[in-house]
């Protein structure tokens, strides 16, 4: 099973730039075209939040226009820049979408890997939280299929990254998530967005990784007095490849056209 993972496109209204600098819509369209051109084509696309920049209806209208070009089924969760009910309206025709409350769901009919979407966002706030109710929901969903290889997708990562201007906006009470996941060894990955960078670590007995943004990269500055900064780096995505007997391998894939291929390896 091949799973493309895009994150944090921050789609804007037609003609508007992200932060007045980057055409995030063009960048996301290029990412969608890249996914469509992959050979073999992915079975599924995951979108791990911040699909739009301000949660406005005209942004979601542009998102729908861009996603119409995607030739692969999609699963999505909101991020802190999304507005939950506008998000729900944008995906209203999707069978996985819950009718109310957090955008929590599980999908197991797209291939051998089960996808569990875990919405840790708090409407109106930039940090997330693993609530007691959310942790109980996740435990119940994972317990329902204990032998099934599973990915848990969320937006804010549940750890401090060491980047001082990002860590106040992490997912709090991450110990609850770690406790749940540690009881369910079928969880192959926890996938997050939010930080606009690739990071990976051991968490709850499994591997957690964050996805790059298709728009900008938040600067990797580890000094405690560093000030917020971003760069326009080459956009990228993650590609998760699951095979029987091997498990899940995660690749970082730059988005774009590059010199080659050359006849050597």
Cα dihedral sign, 143-149-153-158:
positive
User: What is the distance, to the nearest Å, from the Cα of residue 212 to the centroid of all Cα atoms in its chain?
Assistant: 9
Q: Average pLDDT for residues 192-200, to the nearest whole number? A: 98
Of the chain, the percentage scoring pLDDT greater than 70 comes to 100
Residue tagged 């030739």 (tokens): 71
pLDDT in tens, 202-222: 999 999 999 999 999 999 999
Cα dihedral sign, 187-163-211-48:
positive
User: What is the distance, to the nearest Å, from the Cα of residue 245 to the centroid of all Cα atoms in its chain?
Assistant: 26
- pLDDT range class, residue 178, cuts 50, 70, 90: very high
Q: Which CATH class is domain 2-254?
A: alpha beta
pLDDT in tens, 4-14: 999 999 999 99
Sorted by where each begins, the domain ranges of the chain are 2-254
CB 193 within 8 A of CB 204: no
Predicted pLDDT at 137: 98
């Amino acid at each position: 099973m091949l799973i493309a993972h895009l994150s944090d496109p921050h789609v804007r209204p037609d003609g508007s730039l992200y932060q007045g600098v980057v055409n995030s819509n063009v960048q996301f369209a290029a990412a969608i075209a890249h996914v469509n051109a992959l050979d073999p084509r992915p079975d599924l696309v995951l979108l791990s939040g911040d699909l739009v920049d301000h949660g406005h209806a005209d942004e979601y209208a542009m998102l729908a226009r861009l996603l119409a070009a995607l030739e692969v089924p999609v699963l999505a969760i909101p991020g802190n820049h999304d507005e939950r009910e506008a998000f729900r309206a944008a995906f209203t025709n999707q069978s996985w979408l819950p009718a109310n409350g957090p955008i929590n769901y599980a999908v197991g009919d797209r291939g051998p890997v089960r996808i569990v979407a875990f919405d840790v966002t708090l409407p109106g706030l930039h940090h997330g939280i693993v609530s007691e109710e959310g942790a109980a929901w996740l435990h119940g969903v994972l317990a329902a299929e204990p032998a099934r290889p599973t990915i848990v997708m969320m937006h804010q990562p549940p750890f401090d990254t060491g980047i001082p201007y990002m860590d106040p906006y992490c997912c709090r009470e991450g110990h609850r998530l770690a406790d749940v996941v540690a009881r369910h060894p079928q969880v192959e990955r926890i996938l997050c967005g939010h930080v606009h960078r690739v990071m990976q670590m051991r968490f709850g007995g499994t591997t957690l990784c964050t996805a790059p943004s298709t728009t900008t990269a938040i600067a990797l500055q580890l000094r405690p007095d560093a000030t917020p900064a971003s760069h326009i780096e080459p956009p990228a995505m993650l590609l998760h490849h699951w095979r029987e007997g091997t498990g899940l391998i995660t690749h970082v894939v730059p988005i774009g056209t590059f010199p080659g291929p050359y006849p050597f390896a």
